Structure 1
Amino acid sequence: MQYEKLAIPDVVLMTPQVFGDERGFFMETFRHSEFEEHCGDYAFVQDNHSKSARGILRGLHYQYQQPQGKLVRVTRGEVFDVAVDMRKSSPTFGQWVGVMLSEQNKQMLWVPPGFAHGFYVTSEEAEFQYKCTDYYAPGDEIALRWNDPTLNIQWPLVSNQPPQLSSKDQQGLSFIDAPCFR
């Protein structure tokens, strides 16, 4: 596995070594000892799997009282995945990083606790899987506005059309009004 720290160094892009031939492929997707060395000592307690169609944007979400770290990957299709630093004490507070994750590149992204996270589907469909360091707590989830002008995230919108959002995401908070971590 290759580990690459991004413009926000706590967010890490992971690229597995893929062994393939005419029968298919094999890859290791997680090894705790290496993850701990490159990303920190975290334990995962919940795995999730979602399916979405082209043009759907999920996020930007985070839990405030029970922050979650997320190790995310796409097993079908392609998404633009985004992490926003919500930690006031961080030198990258209020900054974001985004990467394309796909079934072709097989890359994974480590989004530590203290970040808002979201993704936008660029392929016809996408299946998105992720491991979490804390349990989902629906009453604790906060949604940031996907198009917040302070963040100015450069989403690769299909045909420059607005994304399809859940009602929760349509009512997302502005960055300046959202609770932040210390």
Structure 2
Amino acid sequence: MTDVAAPSSEPLHDLPTGRFSGRDAFQQMVRDAFATAARDGWQEIVISDAHFHDWPLGERGVVESLQAWAHSGRRFTMLACSYDDVIRRHARFVRWRGTWDHIITCRRSPAADPLDLPSALWSPQWVMHRLDPERCVGVSGSEPDRRVLLRESLNEWVRSKSTPGFPSTTLGL
């Protein structure tokens, strides 16, 4: 057994590898990824999309998976051009985000071209990357090269092309 295979030896039997196509396939992959994260105890999750309008973040099952996943020491990062669709479409997720603010980092890049911002879910164990968000076509897998390349791209956006965004509470006067 080699060291390279070790990270992908996590039990990922219900997460697909290879190409995917279609909104239903994409949304089911997001659901399955969060359920697997909760079951397998992933330490970190990064999600990125221009607006998250077609992600199933507000579904009861997704929020229940995130609730089961969330523990001290875990990290969740979100990156978007705008969080307006998240606030409008995903009320359950917004409430969950407020509860777990201490493990969640939200970044926004309002000037970015929505097609340039990666539409992806990254974890140290498995990744999903929509190469064509309009048609929901992309690739997923646990190969080390795939995970490293996507992480480097996301890190570049988080570190130098975005600012803090989507506060967990809105303070009024």
Which protein is richer in helix relative to its size?
Answer: 2
Q: Scaled by the length of structure 2, what TM-score is found?
A: 0.27
Greater per-residue strand proportion: 1
